[in-house]
Chain A
Amino acid sequence: MFEYALAALLQAQASGLPMHRIANIFKPLATPAESEYHIAVFVLAITGAIFVVVGALIISTLIRFRRRSDDNSHQEPPQVYGSNQIEVAWTVIPILIVFVLIGVSARVIAGVENASPPASTLHITLIGHQWWWEVEYPDFKLITANEIHVPASPDGKTATYLNLQSMDVIHSFWVPQLSGKTDLIPNRTNYTWIDPREPGIYLGNCAEYCGTQHANMLLRVIAHKPDDFEKWAAEQQKPAEDDPQLSEARAAFESLACVNCHAVRGTAAVGKVGPDLTHLMSRQTIGAGVLTNTPEHLRAWVNDPQQAKPGCMMPSMKLTSPQLDQVVSYLESLK
């Protein structure tokens, strides 16, 4: 387990972007998460105060009115039946507190849900599959998988709007430091928005139980400096690398069943069932986050995905060793 952490850390350093491993909701780094953070602190303060006051009342009552061990009389204490004034008081005060909370909530709900996109907005369509994320960039005519690259917005003037859809069951998009969660529901398009303040790698999870490998449907949002984002998009728009030295490997890949599920732009592989592999090696992880993208992991994954992610939709194709060598060497060329 330690090796996962180490490998990921090294990868992060390689990309030059800081990795936000701890997705603390109290360390927001985008506007929606920040609004949610402010109201969270407000609510925590109020409920904390209530806890202290009421808790102290309960504990002090228990201590003060305990039966003394030297009390042997069968005298019952004064039988008090109730008090209308007290009842009114402790009904009205909580109702007032609740009204304050309702008012504040209404404001923040509207602020987050009904926010209008700023002038410079990137639109992404995120489609949930059992157990990976399809990421489309309609403006760039790009389809990738599992990593969501966006431009950072230090001045708050850029944002990324995500249209959320699902191919199968209900999933949920949750990257805590960027925003609260929104579900991906089949036959329905939800939307959410993020504007990461700083460049970096933000971690998240699918947050609606979606079957066997829900736990390994991980999210990475990679926020670049705006120029770097343009560079990344341009790189991704290129069709797959075609290294003449790997033409045999490429032919092997195209002749196997891989192409039924996966797409590699610029080749005969146009499958839509699994993630787009055109620039597989530009991604930091495999299998929606379950393994880091290293040569050994890639080989192990292609050989038998069920080892790392049992129950996932990609079967072991039972490739022979030479076939495996060829497929993996071809995949490793898809930078």
Chain B
Amino acid sequence: MASIDYPLEHPRIKGREFSFSETLYKWVATVDHKRLGLMYITSALLFLVIAGLMASAMRIQLAVPNNHFVGPETFNRLFTMHGTTMVFLVGMPIVAGFSNYLVPLMIGARDMAFPRLNAFGFWMFLFGGLLLYYSYFGGGGLSGAGSAPDVGWFAYAPLTSSAFSRGHATDYWALGILAAGIGTVASAINVIATTLCLRCPGMTLRKMPMFVWVMLIDSWMILLAFPPLTAAQVMLELDRYLGANFFNTQAGGSAVLWQHYFWIFGHPEVYILIFPAFAIVSEVIPIFSRKPLFGRPAMVGAVVAIGFISMGVWAHHMFAVGMTSWANTFFAASSMLVGVPTGIKIFNWTATMYGGKIRFATPMMFCCAFLLQFLVAGLTGIMLAVTPFDWQLHDSYFVVAHFHFTLIGGLVFGVFAGIYYWFPKAIGRMLSEKLGKWHFWLFCIGFNMTFIPLHFAGMLGMPRRVYTYAPGRGWEVWNLIASIGVLFQAAGILCFIWNVVRSSIKGEIAGDDPWDGWTLEWGTSSPPPEYNFEKLPVARSSRPLWDLKHPQDPDWKYE
């Protein structure tokens, strides 16, 4: 099949070995979007393993009632660091990593609009993450109290005030995440500028791949959602260090103000987190069904709608705070409405597969699990949006089950699909299908075994963030099954790590276009040269390679 351009020489200069310091410099000083993208994703996966180990420790502690595997202080730090790491140090670099790697390739550009800003964003993220983890050493402070933060990933006031959180633990939380957040906003501005300004000739906004659309809206949401978090964290630090009174109830301040500000960030944030999965799945499903994405305009409209509506649902995290019935009803309504465009997306993905020729390679299997799991997650979300039902389910293990279904069942499965799909492009070698299938089945079984039972524990009254529980409440059996599921998930992750390591060295050579793809990244070598394309392509439809491969039936005739 014809590729758009054929590089004159292989990107790796033959016969020359790079010394260790040269290699290190190449990676540390790089502004190349592909290297930075890989650095983001690698960091995210490392943090995923660390936070996953924390979760395993928690599940061991909760496997049986009145357990003594870890004490309360340690457990509280574990769930705080687990949540904070997963959201800010796994989810956000996934957003940045996938968009930075793929967007320039998909729009036919040579790099991002601001390559140095790109590097700045990555190193700010890494700095913020390391600052957060430094709390284990530095959190002691003068009073000797505290190590890592233990206030929960959403750090409610006044628990975070200096009166109730002594030492520096909470400060490491606030400042580490603030720093990482600045990197995130920088990355978002970069993606928007790249998408709006660097598209190759012929690629109007309407012809952009779905992946790029989703990441564009994602970046827009980041710009709007992160400032409230930054503001709240600055206010918290002013309270803690300069005696300000933003959340000081003794001076008339409001503890609920923190919740509003945090969730004005926090709810769009969870959509920001899931969008990469939407983006990836929108690329993978069409390729493995051999059909174009069904209803592209509707899909774009749905993503834009989610982007808007999700800004107006935040107080569904606050139904128990005692807001008026008007406020409760409004937020219930908006929260249910945001489920509509999400549902539309699920229908469109299914319609893409309908009438196709589905090939169940590993990326596609992760997408199939994503569809069913995200369906469950969306429906439990609707249950939580119904305020009176939420009054029972809020802050219980039902919510924990819900958001792990969205984040693992949705995001992580989508990310694995993306990694199996684009690893050949980035590294030049295929991941093993056999190991991939083992990874998939072990992880899928383990994930469901852990999180389905937790719905029931929640409905039987088990609250969140408890380091232990008494026997005889009906929670033991569900917790035990959930903890056993961790073993399968761990085994699946081990298969994945082994697959990545082994395939990087001995995997089958991928070639330019191993999956018979339709978007521009498959029109250059694997891995792409530093300049991406020898000659910048010209796009006439949203599937430029389809047009090249099927000159008698090109897409631009129908678009």
A contact residues vs B (CB 8 Å cutoff): 1-2, 4-5, 8-9, 21-26, 33, 35-36, 39-40, 43-44, 47, 50-51, 54-55, 57-59, 61-62, 65-67, 71, 76-83, 86-87, 90-91, 94-95, 98, 101-102, 104-106, 108-110, 112-114, 130, 164, 168-170, 172, 174, 176, 179-183, 185-188, 190-191, 203-216, 218, 289, 310-311
Contact = CB atoms under 8 A, between A and B. Distances in A.
Given A4-B472, A176-B392, A215-B465, 13 more contacts: A9-B472, A22-B461, A43-B383, A54-B350, A65-B357, A81-B292, A83-B294, A169-B164, A180-B392, A181-B392, A187-B253, A188-B249, A190-B322
Question: Which 5 pairs across A and B sit closest by C-beta, in order of nearness?
Answer: A180-B391, A23-B461, A187-B249, A215-B466, A190-B322
Contacts of A65: 289, 353-358
Nearest to A191: B322
A47 B377 CA distance: 11
B468 A215 contact: yes
Most buried by A among B73, B386, B550: B386
A185 B255 contact: yes
B296 interface: yes
B329 A105 contact: yes
Contacts of B394: 180-181, 207
B7 interface: no
Interface residues of B, number: 99
A310 B249 contact: no
A183 B360 CA distance: 48
Nearest to A218: B470
Contacts of A190: 321-322
Nearest to B160: A169
Contacts of B150: 212
Interface in B203-230: none
Nearest to B155: A209
9 contacts: A62-B358, A77-B290, A87-B344, A101-B386, A110-B329, A170-B159, A203-B461, A209-B395, A215-B467
Contacts of A104: 386
Given A24-B460, A55-B372, A83-B295, A170 B325 contact: no
Interface stretch (B182-190, B193-201, B333-341): B333-341
Contacts of B395: 172, 174, 181, 207-209
B461 A47 contact: no
Nearest to A86: B351
Contacts of B353: 61-62, 65
Contacts of A94: 339-340, 343-344
B298 A22 contact: no
Interface in B308-365: 320-322, 324-325, 328-329, 332-333, 336-337, 339-340, 343-344, 346-348, 350-351, 353-360
B558 A81 contact: yes
Contact of A39 (B72, B158, B388, B459): B388
